[in-house]
Amino acid sequence: MKPVTVHLKAKEVQEIQGGPMSAYEALEQLGVRGLDRVVSVKIDGELADLSTQIDSQVELKPVYLNSKEGLEILRHSTSHVMAMAVQELFPGVKVTIGPAIEDGFYYDFDYERPFKKEDLSRIEEKMREIIKADLPFTGREVTSQEANDFFKGLGEDYKVELITDLGAENVKLYTQGSFTDLCRGPHVPSTGMINAFALTKVAGAYWRGDENRPMLSRIYGVAFENRKELKQYMRRIEEAEKRNHARLGPQLGLFSTYNEIGAGMIVWHPKGAMLRHIIEEFEIREHLKRGYELAKGPSLLKTELWNKSGHFENYREHMYFTDIDEQSYGIKPMNCLAHMLIYGSRIRSYRDLPKRYFELGTVHRHERSGVLHGLLRVREFTQDDAHIICTPEQLNNEIKGVLDFVRDVMDIFEFDYELEVSTRPEKSIGTDEDWDLAINALKVAMEDSHLQYDINEGDGAFYGPKIDVKLKDALGRKWQCATIQCDFTLPERFDLVYIGKDGQKHRPAMIHRVILGAIERFIGILIEHYAGAFPTWLAPVQAVILTVTDRSIPHGEGLLRALEDADIRLEADFRNEKLGLKVREAQLQKIPYMLIVGDKECDREGLTPRLRNGQNLPLMSAKEFIERISEECKQRR
């Protein structure tokens, strides 16, 4: 028989006698360690099942369970086990898609009723039975017609639609036990390799994300290499639920949503409005001291302008339109158009550049109802938007300046972060040359700043590539906020020019950038990052005066006036209630300081601060407390 030649590692070549064999048998003959933890292989760089036959010269690489790819395979395999369990427990259910996602997986089902949280324990129990049976995952390639006939016979309409849309001559099916699914694979060798999993929640999801298609039941789950990692994850989930901004926001009196108003629209209560004001005032100060100029554009712009910019062609599904006096207008989803018109309102010299226009601009975007969530995904939001128009020679320093701005602000809010460069998407405008110039400008600026970054292929804006800043919060979760976009295309479309040293007209470059991003989203992230216990400088209410008895009220009123005059944000609780009750209520509101005022404080004309963590500070004068809190705010603690 013809020997199989295997490249296991760089420069390591080995012939295996015995002719065609499975990838697993090849790894076994090669003496690969830890075979019980190998879930798949890479054959010439492509993922494949361990059962894949090898009959020629190949480069072989084992994929271990604890690797990123190994965990993704494990999670996808677990989704198949869940779908099998659901089919056995709920006759008549139709299965749709079930991909692996970060930390877990989900599967969407069409059933006569939505699945409930109470169903999850039954499904988990059935999954454990399937896992214990140690059923092998077997894949086979069939023609699309054969697959269509097979799923039609089962009444699986969604699978038939997927096969039709693929338009491929052949597709792959995977089977374990009685369950067969349309799937590219690969999968773990058998269900017995799945060791640590949990089903976490149920939700609704439109078929293929289209709100005009059927509403399906989505079941989410997680899977890990071992039970220890699963337990650690579940503890993080419990902590995340305690920090959930959608629960804490209304509880702390920050914001609400109302069905009467509409989905994705936020109503800010006084404390939330104050929090926004603090952040926006901070933003304005930080921009002005970095050479930005304030700008303001209207919410409605003629549709012909959105045509000119390319938004109508490439972004209109996210926009709202209306007619006024038989003229079509678009409600702005972005702020860049007005800023370019400001720039083009007069002739600019190279000496005028760069121009940095900053706007806290409120925009509207049509988000599907299924993705709306608290403050994190809304239809109306305000961006800390800026557009820097500069000469091509200034581009590098301006991008680095924005990167420095991001670093300084994230330090203040105590966020770590990672960087990605997102490249040209399929739906885009501009020349290849302009895109190459823009991508290179972003990369060079980060390399000059000694910053590490990943490449996110095809996820740029339709007019230019971007640097995405992924924040990491107190629980290690990643959030997309800041972005820096480099654009040579819109300056061309809007005929932006400057007069160069040679007296000739030249085309400027433009940077679109946000630092915090959407203020609504950023506040949602902040609530969860700090668990609602904002640092003193950021807290909407910095202190509450708590009287012990009615005798203390006159002194409390005097303190209230003195502290308000010092611009301390505070409340007063002069109710005839037990002090313990007042303290507990203030702690639940996560107010940084509770100022206790009783007989002792009245006699000594002072106050006794108590921190929200329960620590009592010594009695001090109003002046001493003002100095303390002022210093905290100055240091942004």
State the catalytic residue, choosing from 287, 387, 513, 521.
387
The residue type found at 126 is K
Question: What pLDDT sits at residue 476?
Answer: 84
| Distances, alpha carbon 143 to alpha carbons 152, 163, 181, in Å | 14, 10, 14
Confidence band, pLDDT 50/70/90 cuts, at residue 2: low
**How far apart are the C-alpha atoms of 27 and 143, rounded to whole Å?**
31
Count the Cβ atoms, other than its own, within 10 Å of residue 596.
22
Mean pLDDT of the chain, nearest integer:
93
Burial of 501 (0-12, 13-18, 19+ CB in 10 A): exposed
The residue type found at 49 is D
Q: Would you call 512 a catalytic residue per the annotation?
A: yes
Each residue of 297-322: pLDDT tens digit? Answer: 999 999 999 999 999 998 999 999 99
Q: Would you call 603 a catalytic residue per the annotation?
A: no
Question: What pLDDT sits at residue 216?
Answer: 95
Residue 9 has pLDDT above 70, yes or no: no
Residue 13 has pLDDT above 70, yes or no: no
Confidence band, pLDDT 50/70/90 cuts, at residue 1: very low
CB 572 within 8 A of CB 544: yes
Q: What is the mean pLDDT of residues 73-77?
A: 97
State the catalytic residue, choosing from 365, 377, 529, 582.
365
Question: What pLDDT sits at residue 23?
Answer: 87
Q: Closest Cα partner for 292 from 360, 381, 391?
A: 360
State the catalytic residue, choosing from 80, 187, 466, 569.
466
Q: What is the mean pLDDT of residues 592-617?
A: 96
**How far apart are the C-alpha atoms of 10 and 282, rounded to whole Å?**
54
Q: Would you call 448 a catalytic residue per the annotation?
A: no
The three-state secondary structure class of 115 is coil
**Domains of the chain, each with CATH number or no CATH:** 4-64 (3.10.20.30), 69-242 (3.30.980.10), 263-298+333-529 (3.30.930.10), 543-634 (3.40.50.800)
**How far apart are the C-alpha atoms of 403 and 484, rounded to whole Å?**
8
Q: Would you call 364 a catalytic residue per the annotation?
A: no
Q: Would you call 385 a catalytic residue per the annotation?
A: yes
CB 596 within 8 A of CB 580: no
Indicate if the alpha-carbon torsion angle 451, 457, 459, 464 is positive or negative: positive
Tokens 């509880």 correspond to 251
Q: What is the mean pLDDT of residues 549-567?
A: 96
The three-state secondary structure class of 298 is coil
**R_g of the chain computed on alpha carbons:** 30
**How far apart are the C-alpha atoms of 292 and 516, rounded to whole Å?**
16
Structure tokens belonging to residue 614: 């329960």
- Phi/psi region, residue 69 (left: phi>0; alpha: psi -120 to 50; beta: rest), is alpha
The residue type found at 465 is P
Q: What is the mean pLDDT of residues 101-130?
A: 95
Question: What pLDDT sits at residue 29?
Answer: 82
**How far apart are the C-alpha atoms of 551 and 571, rounded to whole Å?**
19
pTM tops 0.75:
yes
Residues ≥6 apart with Cβ < 8 Å to 95: 83, 86, 87, 107, 108, 109, 156, 158, 159, 181
State the catalytic residue, choosing from 49, 183, 271, 336.
336
Structure tokens belonging to residue 132: 């214990």
Structure tokens belonging to residue 370: 């299924």
Q: Would you call 466 a catalytic residue per the annotation?
A: yes
Which segments within 163-259 are labelled E, that is strand?
Answer: 170-176, 179-182, 196-206, 215-224, 255-256
State the catalytic residue, choosing from 176, 383, 542, 589.
383
Each residue of 466-498: pLDDT tens digit? Answer: 999 999 888 888 898 999 999 989 999 999 999
Which segments within 3-84 are labelled E, that is strand?
Answer: 4-9, 12-16, 21-22, 38-43, 46-48, 53-54, 58-64
Q: What percent of the chain has pLDDT over 70?
A: 97
DSSP string for 329-375: EEE-S-SHHHHHHHHTTS--BGGG--EEEEEEEEEE----GGG-BTT
State the catalytic residue, choosing from 119, 385, 487, 573.
385
**How far apart are the C-alpha atoms of 42 and 410, rounded to whole Å?**
39
Residues ≥6 apart with Cβ < 8 Å to 474: 414, 529, 530, 531
Which segments within 212-319 are labelled E, that is strand?
Answer: 215-224, 255-256, 267-268, 293-294, 300-302
State the catalytic residue, choosing from 245, 332, 512, 582.
512
